[in-house]
Structures are given as structure tokens and as C-alpha cells.
Amino acid sequence: MHLIRAANRWVSYQDRKSVSRALREVYTAPNEDTARASLDAFEASELGQKYPQSVKVWRDAWERFIPFLQFPPAARRVLYTTNSIESLNAELRKATRNRGQFPNDTAALKTLWLMICNIEDKRAAQRAKKAKRAIECNGYVEGAKATGWKQAINQLAVAYPDRFADYL
């Protein structure tokens, strides 16, 4: 998502949809070779000629982008936008930075767990307020809707069994 925004920074407003549509072929490609061919085709197209800086953004970030192509398609859709993940990580960094040091690993894990619960409660309250719904007071939090999350988890568990064994 950040790469697309960075590429669109150089594109005029009326062409953003068409450029994004053309670049979709790059980030939805099944493998690196197809993605590179799609980027080359975009560069040779009228839009690529009109906005060479957008192509340069993709070329400069290529080495950081290609590991994304190794994930299965369902996992890519979930990982595609990381704003909520980045927001959560920022909140967790803030919580640990403000506390200084922890006496042991368990204390750090408890602090992080409580912060995650607190953050999710705030987000659930915001979602409930927007939808004019009351939050149930049973300790469970209404989660954000992530389309295809179950399929992505299944594909990631198959691809990385050693990382998922402890958590499933």
C-alpha cells in the first residue's frame, strides 16, 4: 500500500485510478518474473512514459517488494494494507518505552497483552459508536473485519508450520 501511494504521489489526480489499475498487475502477479514483466509493460505504456518517477519508485523498492510475492494470494490480501498493524506496533512501542525496563520476560508479556486488550477495546468502542451499537460487556472484543483472514491463516500455517505450531 505504501509503495502504491508513493508511486501515485507523482501522478496527477485524474490519472491516479488508471495508474493504480495498471500497477495492480505488478503487485497481484503470481511470481517475480510476471511482476517484473508487468512493471516493464507499465513503463513502456503511455502512463509509464508520462510518469517515469512512478516507475522509479517501484524500481528503487523492488528488492523490498519481491519477498511479498512469495506469500500465497490470500495472505497477500490480508498483508496488503498494514496500517492497522503499524498502528498497533506504534502503541506497543509507546507502552514499552514509557515503562523503561521490566523485571522479567513475564512482566513484559503481561504489559503487552494488557496494552493489546486496551487498544482493541478502544477500537471496538469506536466501531460500535460509528455503527450505533452497544458493546457487550462480556470481556470479548468485536474484531475488525478482515476479508479472507481464515484462508490466509490456513495458507500461512501450511507455508510456515514451524512458526504456527505453538499458537494453534
Per the structure, the count of domains in the chain is 2
pLDDT in tens, 48-93: 999 999 999 999 999 999 988 888 877 887 776 666 677 788 888 8
The answer to whether the predicted template modeling score (pTM) of the entire model surpasses 0.85 is: no
- Report yes or no on 32 lying in a domain: yes
- Tell which wins on pLDDT, 33 or 151: 33
Q: Compute the average pLDDT of residues 141-162.
A: 71
- Report yes or no on 18 lying in a domain: yes
- Cβ atoms of residues 7 and 19 within 8 Å: yes
| Close Cβ partners of 11 (under 8 Å, ≥ 6 residues apart) | 19, 51, 54
Range of the domain at 122: 83-164
Q: Please report the DSSP string for 11-31 in residue order.
A: S-GGGHHHHHHHHHHHHT-SS
- Report yes or no on 75 lying in a domain: no
Residues 56 and 9 in one domain: yes
- Helix 52-60 and helix 32-44: axis angle, to 10°? 160
Q: Give the whole-angstrom CA distance, residue 8 versus residue 18.
A: 10
3-state helix, strand, coil in the chain (%, to 5): 75, 0, 25
- Of 69, 77, 82, the residue nearest 29 (C-alpha): 69
pLDDT in tens, 84-109: 677 788 888 888 888 878 899 999 89
Residues 59 and 90 in one domain: no
Residues 88 and 158 in one domain: yes
Residues 89 and 44 in one domain: no
In this predicted structure, what is the pLDDT of residue 120?
Answer: 80
